[in-house]
Amino acid sequence: MPLLLIWILFGIAAVIVASQKNRSGCAWFALGFLLGPFGLLFALLLPSLPSSSTDQNASPPSLPSAPLDPSLASDTKICPHCAETIKLAAKKCRFCGEVLSDDQVDAEISARRAAVEEDLARQLAGQLRCPFCGSWDVSPNAFHPDGSFGPWCPHCQKALPFNPK
């Protein structure tokens, strides 16, 4: 019985060493348990694997987001056939099975990217966007109908919260 406990401890030690080197814990427990000290020695001698954050199959960085309009930087869209939410780059709807043309998908991605770039350019130019209606022609210094002073949207007729930079 004590010998079995020692082999289990070798398996656990191999798991700890292997997990610190970004390796599978389950497989190394089996090797550590079956091979005892030799399994632990193999785990100690192995080089570390790169972490998953530097994985080659990692998703590309998302589009830059505009702080006041997160829907523009969303990575989803509405399927034109079934109206379900699908990924922006999807070429086939997972709900209805309809295939979207490559041109249609590329056009949507290009339009989304252009809208985000335009919003970022407007923000860098110092323009304000109304968080209520989304219009860009907010007056930064206006007298409100209630007599107060500050940013005001002429479209939705609402006073914006004052946010000095």
Query: What amino acid occupies position 137?
Result: D
pLDDT at 59: 45
Q: 99: which strand partners?
A: 92
In a domain, 68, yes or no: no
In a domain, 57, yes or no: no
**Residue 132 shares a structural domain with residue 164:** yes
pLDDT at 116: 85
**Residue 106 shares a structural domain with residue 139:** no
Query: What amino acid occupies position 6?
Result: I
Q: Cα dist. 158→73, 132, 150 in Å?
A: 25, 8, 11
In a domain, 55, yes or no: no
pLDDT at 51: 65
In a domain, 92, yes or no: yes
State the alpha helices, DSSP H only, in the chain. Answer: 2-20, 25-35, 37-45, 102-124
Range of the domain at 19: 2-46
pLDDT at 2: 80
Q: Is the entire prediction scored with pTM above 0.75? A: no
In a domain, 105, yes or no: yes
**Centroid of chain to Cα 30:** 35
**Residue 82 shares a structural domain with residue 119:** yes
Query: What amino acid occupies position 36?
Result: G
Mean pLDDT, 10 residues at a time, the chain of 165 residues? 81 83 79 79 77 48 40 74 90 91 89 87 84 81 77 81 57
**Residue 141 shares a structural domain with residue 119:** no
Most distant CA pair in the chain, distance: 86
8 A C-beta contact, residue 148 and residue 138? no
Based on the structure, what is the number of domains in the chain?
3
From the list 93, 73, 91, the residue with the least C-alpha distance to 81 is: 93
In a domain, 40, yes or no: yes
**Residue 104 shares a structural domain with residue 117:** yes
Residue 16 token pair:
């700890």
